[in-house]
A and B are shown apart, each in its own frame.
Chain A
Amino acid sequence: MDNILEVKDLHVSFDTYGGEVKAVRGVSFDLKKGETLAIVGESGSGKSVTTRAIARLIPSPPGRIKEGEILLDGKDLAKLKEKQMQQIRGKEISTIFQDPMTSLNPTMKIGAQIMEGLIKHQKMSRSKAKERTIELLDLVGLPNAKDRVDQYPHQFSGGQRQRVVIAIALACNPKVLIADEPTTALDVTIQAQILELMKDIQKKTDSSIIFITHDLGVVANVADRVAVMYAGKIVEIGTVDEIFYNPKHPYTWGLLGSMPTLDNDEESLVAIPGSPPDMLNPPKGDAFAPRNEYALEIDNEMEPPMFKVSDTHYAATWLLHENAPKMEPPAAVKRRMKGFAASSDKKGDKR
């Protein structure tokens, strides 16, 4: 499969009065056509900044892409001028934002908000764009699309608004769809509907999706591959099966251990102790070491490189070095892993 997007050694910093905040510190990954890549990590891990940088939506100043390449079909977005980028945004890369209550303009009819992109990128006439808008609203499952194009955002519920936001993002058939926690602000029943919708749309349009979330349940549901981010870096990347059944990084263990599931009878969830490092002064060595009970001496001295586990699975932890002591995930996480495997067998595998 071809890579539609390749991110190489991306660094993003914010210049603040306190100094340079290194939010993203050398992120590399690629995205294949028709694939869904989930980026997971706790708040402040740099997952949103990474994807905003890809769409060049980082406000500058204070933010800037310090180095790295963002190759969309071979074209380096990091080097484009703002004017050229305006031709790409909404047309080749679209973004679905987290909070549908605030990401729509309250004083503009939703139809007009969807049509803007069509008129700009596809040079449609207003009447043509309106027809297409009604089609899009049908596609995202909004009933009575014909009547509803002329309504304002406050006349829609949260889930309906997120459908509108998705319709805006899909308007020009983008090659890459960035979904920045699209279900976080919705109630659980609506979350499931929106996820189903996104999977459905991906099947129909064959677009590639980068799906940011901190909900591992969502990951298991939608993603083909998973990148785990911590302190501005990808610490582990692999297919969903590899991350859920054979995680290698202690941080991934921590995330899996802290994930609530229905089908286990643990008394309590395992929390990762401590809090993420201050990105104004990222620690020397492995940024996760202070919170890591499996940390080795070398973690305080040197950052671990990406070790290859399989062709698709990489993790940045010294535990994978040939001289490192053999470590096993904690018992609770192992039980989880078994649980995941069992429940995916039960479902008879959709993948």
Chain B
Amino acid sequence: MARYILQRLGYMILTLFLIATFSFFLMKMLPGSPLSSEQKVTEAQREIILEKYGLNDPVPVQYARYMGNLLQGDLGVSFQLKNQPVTDILLSRIPISAQLGLYALLIGTVLGMLLGLIAAIKNNSWVDYSANIVSVIGISIPSFIFAGLMQYYVGVKLGLLPIAFWGTWQQAVMPTIALAIFPMAIGARFMRTEMIEVLGSDFIVTARAKGLNNTGILFKHGLRNALIPLVTVMGPMAVSLMTGTLVIEQIFSIPGIGEQFVSSVMTDDFAIIMGTTLFFAFFFVLIILIVDLLYGIIDPRIRLAGGKD
């Protein structure tokens, strides 16, 4: 098992290296520079700045320097934000996005699983149909609509909750709900389909033939076997929720990484874009590793296929 994880970590580093390389050259192929939108800078000043940041060097030299710094954990400095180190910016913003995303993920997944379970048990009853409608709505209506509606009715009309910023738990409620609806809907649909299939398996009949009661059958025999597809979709979902959500952070003025990413792209802030991309990539491969390990925990047949322990 330990060997398997080490091997996977090795691949992760290789993946990240390749992503860093690709992103770097892609960024360099883009026209313009962080200074292109600055009107008041003279030609001479521009030269000085480009020289100072080494932007006049040949691209391979810049690449080698960037990768060298990267190995030491230095992601460079932001051009827009007064020479702040990118690492500091990321570290101040990522925890907020991750926290919001985690809340939404947990609440959405738990509610979705419950909804899907109930729908599966009451298959083809009105409960099932209502759960189905709820999940279709949750999947097809974008989260910013819920966000806007909540802000207007709960925030403005009723004045129950603050409509923006981040810090208190009250401020977290509405963005969390807005974000949780999609994972809830997806979770409910996957759970229902999977559970209905699992409950039709032969081993469920075996469990009934043992005289177990329905709750025991559902949770001891059904749930675990229905979890694999759910974990498969929830992994990437976790990444997209926890790495900052462009729209929701914007709507609620939450100083997360998503909001930062948008403004950096607008200003061609090379270092921050690279840093954020690398962070997304790192988080993504990490989640994939966790998902793969979870597969093994859930289903013993996958455990052996992964590598000998």
Contact = CB atoms under 8 A, between A and B. Distances in A.
A, B in one complex: yes
B299 A86 contact: no
Interface string A93-125: 011010100111111100001001100110000
A120 B225 CA distance: 22
Nearest to A106: B301
Contact of B203 (A89, A90, A91, A102): A102
A99 B208 CA distance: 16
B298 A102 contact: no
A57 interface: yes
A108 B304 CA distance: 15
A171 B300 CA distance: 25
A103 B206 contact: yes
A106 B209 contact: no
Given A106-B299, A107-B225, A152-B301, A89 B209 contact: yes
Nearest to B200: A59
B209 A94 contact: yes
Given A102-B203, A103-B202, A104-B206, A87 B299 contact: no
A102 B204 CA distance: 10
A226 interface: no
Nearest to B210: A90
Contacts of A154: 300-301, 304
B153 to A, nearest CB: 42
B213 interface: yes
How extensive is the interface on chain B, given as a class? 20 to 34
Contacts of A97: 202, 205-206, 209
A171 B220 CA distance: 19
B210 A116 contact: yes
B204 to A, nearest CB: 8
Nearest to A121: B211
A31 interface: no
Nearest to A171: B210
Contacts of B225: 105-107
A280 interface: no
A152 B296 CA distance: 13
B28 interface: no
Interface in B179-209: 201-203, 205-209
A166 to B, nearest CB: 12
B209 A95 contact: yes
A198 interface: no
Interface in B202-234: 202-203, 205-213, 216, 220-221, 224-225
Contacts of B209: 55, 57, 89-90, 94-95, 97, 169
A36 B140 CA distance: 59
A88 interface: yes
Contacts of A287: none
Which one of B205, B209, B220, B225 has the highest number of Cβ atoms from chain A below 10 Å of its Cβ?
A: B209
A91 B212 CA distance: 11
B203 A86 contact: no
Nearest to B209: A95
Interface string B245-289: 000000000000000000000000000000000000000000000
B211 A165 contact: no
Contact of B211 (A90, A102, A104, A113): A90
A105 B208 contact: no
Contacts of B206: 95, 97, 103-105, 113, 165, 168
A83 B212 CA distance: 10
A280 B201 CA distance: 26
A107 B300 contact: yes
Contact of A86 (B201, B213, B298, B300): B213
A113 B300 CA distance: 15
A123 to B, nearest CB: 13
Contact of A108 (B201, B213, B221): B221
A102 B210 contact: no
Contacts of A117: 210-211
Nearest to B224: A107
Contacts of B304: 154
Contacts of B207: 105, 116
A48 B273 CA distance: 65
Contacts of B221: 105, 108
A168 B210 contact: yes
B100 to A, nearest CB: 33
Given A97-B209, A107-B225, A169-B209, 4 more contacts: A89-B210, A89-B211, A97-B206, A120-B210
9 contacts: A83-B213, A86-B213, A88-B211, A89-B208, A104-B206, A105-B221, A106-B299, A108-B220, A154-B301
Interface of A: 55, 57, 83, 85-91, 94-95, 97, 99, 102-108, 113, 116-117, 120-121, 152, 154, 165, 168-169, 171
Top 3 A-B pairs ranked by shortest CB distance? A90-B211, A89-B211, A90-B210
